[in-house]
Amino acid sequence: MNVRHSGIGMTSQRTRMRMIERLRAQGIADEVILSAMGTIPRHIFVEEALASRAYEDVALPINYGQTISSPWIVARMSELLHVTSNLEKVLEIGTGCGYQTAVLAKIAQKVYSIERIGPLLTRTRVRLQELQIRNIYLKHADGLLGLAEAGPFDGIIMTAVTTHVPTTLLEQIVVGGRMVFPKGTQKQNLCVIERNSQGYTETVLEEVNFVPMLAGVIKK
């Protein structure tokens, strides 16, 4: 890991370990997730001016009206997805800056990630290549359509809030798989949809706050 990735001061490995201890204290128990987040240099996924705040438990802006979710949200959503132990293929809707993508790459054999904002995806692609993460496949497309040609998926994670899950996405979950996503309008909740042989079961969890999921693509 080069100097930029390893960090110094408020971006150092010591600061990262304090983040991990805080996540444990907040109830995150999946050691695979905690180990992954302990090795990934979160500070390189934000603007340089905000790097010293990268390990605080807050969402931070990443341009284009998007944010990087707080460490707790990333850990919580990853932990909920990782309950499905055999994660061969995972679909992420909303690549954003790529931090959640990098965490998923540590718990799944293959991660397919869709981003609708072209310039954001271009920057993220370079960043993930720098980290030499080989099991991520990125696509510039409308995430609400999913990625049927690569599915079905053991897990789907959505990183922006929606009012409902399109049938197109539900059909891309394997039987025994699950989807983790925020749902709502003024009040948002983290939700889990599980697919079984009889259909789908939805569980509503804690309140959260995400930017909205939008349809279509932005090229420039």
Q: Give the CATH number for residue 147.
A: 3.40.50.150
Does 219 map to a domain?
Answer: no
- Check whether 21 has a pLDDT greater than 90: yes
Among residues 84, 91, 95, the alpha carbon closest in space to that of 172 is found at 91
Q: What single-letter DSSP state applies at residue 201?
A: E
78 in catalytic set: no
- Computed on alpha carbons and rounded to an integer, the radius of gyration of the chain in Å comes to 16
Let me know: does 81 contact 155? Beta carbons within 8 Å. Answer: yes
Does 218 map to a domain?
Answer: no
| Cα(139)–Cα(114) distance, integer angstroms | 5
Does 214 map to a domain?
Answer: no
Domain of residue 157 covers: 3-208
Predicted local distance difference test score (pLDDT) of residue 204: 97
Split into its structural domains, the chain has a count of 1
Does 220 map to a domain?
Answer: no
pTM of the model: 0.93
Let me know: does 159 contact 96? Beta carbons within 8 Å. Answer: yes
| Cα(86)–Cα(214) distance, integer angstroms | 30
Tens digit of pLDDT for each residue in 22-46?
999 999 999 999 999 999 999 999 9
Q: Pairing state of beta strands 136-140 and 110-115?
A: parallel
Predicted local distance difference test score (pLDDT) of residue 7: 55
From 69, 70, 113, 197, the catalytic residue: 69
